[in-house]
Amino acid sequence: MYQMGKSFHPIFCILVSFLTISYAQDCKTYTFSNKNVYATCITLPVLNSQLHWNYHPTNATVNVAYRKTGVTNSQWVAWGLNIGRSGMVGAQSLVGLVSSNGSVQAYTSSVTGYGTGLQPTKLSFDVPKITAEMVNGDVVIYATLALPSGRTSFNQVWQVGPVAGGGPSIHQMGSANRNSVGTVDFATGQISADSGNAGGSRRHRRNTHGVLNALSWGVMMPIGAMAARYLKVFKAANPAWFYIHVTCQASAYIVGVAGWATGLKLGSDSKGIQYNTHRNIGIALFILGTIQAFALLLRPKPDNKYRFYWNIYHHSIGYTVILLSIINVFKGFDILDPEKKWKKAYIGILIFLAVNTVILEAYTWFIVLKRKQEEKRAYPGNGYSQSA
């Protein structure tokens, strides 16, 4: 079996390489049904799309053919240029709307906001000609663009989504859909991803938000709670367990607030895109975490008659924060849609903490029950007991 695996590995790599090369060459070798020939073509990094064009410097026009593979009936595809900014809002788009019978309607749409619905409108530059077709699951939009202000380099966006009620409906929010932005230079044939620094900055902020919150609310908070629960059973750890608990939770809260702030910034920069459940849980965590921070200032002494009620309040909010934190981390994974290894890594951390919790919980009760037996033997009439 091992030898078979060794021989299979290079065959698999060769096969993958062949398929990758074939797909890359398809951009150059693809034959359009109308027999158009384009001097330049690029394979866009996501959504199985390609852009072909002929640039005419004498009159500052460009003939383009945007091709999206794997399209089904009742879907729409779009490609556009964003003249003054990056991203979807402001994009001057070419739209291909595929009906349920497979016919394609081609039109232009200026995206003025997230709720525009890609309605037919004129663009900020002339489009003398636009047509579209669907051939064997590939939608191709053909157009002639009069490039504005003599420019050749622009931010570009492209997208695909479902058709509902005869018009474009909201597209998915997976990683490929969010990263379908970049730049294109029709004169040099160069492209880049992420619309330059703007898109890269947004991705960096999303990743920073995810890392900070997963680390603080999703890992440090549970560890801090475990320190309070399981270290104090050891007499030698008193009062060290308390300072470890406070340090861990305070650090988690500070890092978590920083992650929460990056989330607010992301939300303000992404008007029209809302993740209500993730946002509401995040707000709840910030409020509950802040209440827990003030709990330290309101903590009665052990012999105070209100200490029992304070313990109920402190423990209830603490365990609620941990539960909501873990839920929201997974909500964040669904939104960011990172590589699966990161989600698997977090699941592995949770399993590790859970296994240790079970072991330590059993050991804690073993110690507590043992001490009860010793106290009964030493003081058989006092009825003193200690609970975990």
Residues making up the annotated binding site are: 209, 245, 278, 314
Verify cis geometry, omega within 30 degrees of 0, for the bond prior to 45: no
Q: How far apart are CA 40 and CA 25, in angstroms?
A: 13
Q: Assess contact for 47 and 68: CB atoms under 8 A.
A: yes
| Structure token pair of residue 26 | 């398809």
Q: How far apart are CA 153 and CA 137, in angstroms?
A: 30
Q: Assess contact for 181 and 86: CB atoms under 8 A.
A: yes
**One-letter identity of residue 172:** Q
| Structure token pair of residue 36 | 């158009």
Q: Report which of 125, 108, 118 is spatially closest to residue 62, judged by C-alpha positions.
A: 125
- If you count them, how many residues does the chain have? 388
Cβ-based burial of 50 (10 A; exposed 0-12, middle 13-18, buried ≥19): buried
Binding region for heme b? 209, 245, 278, 314
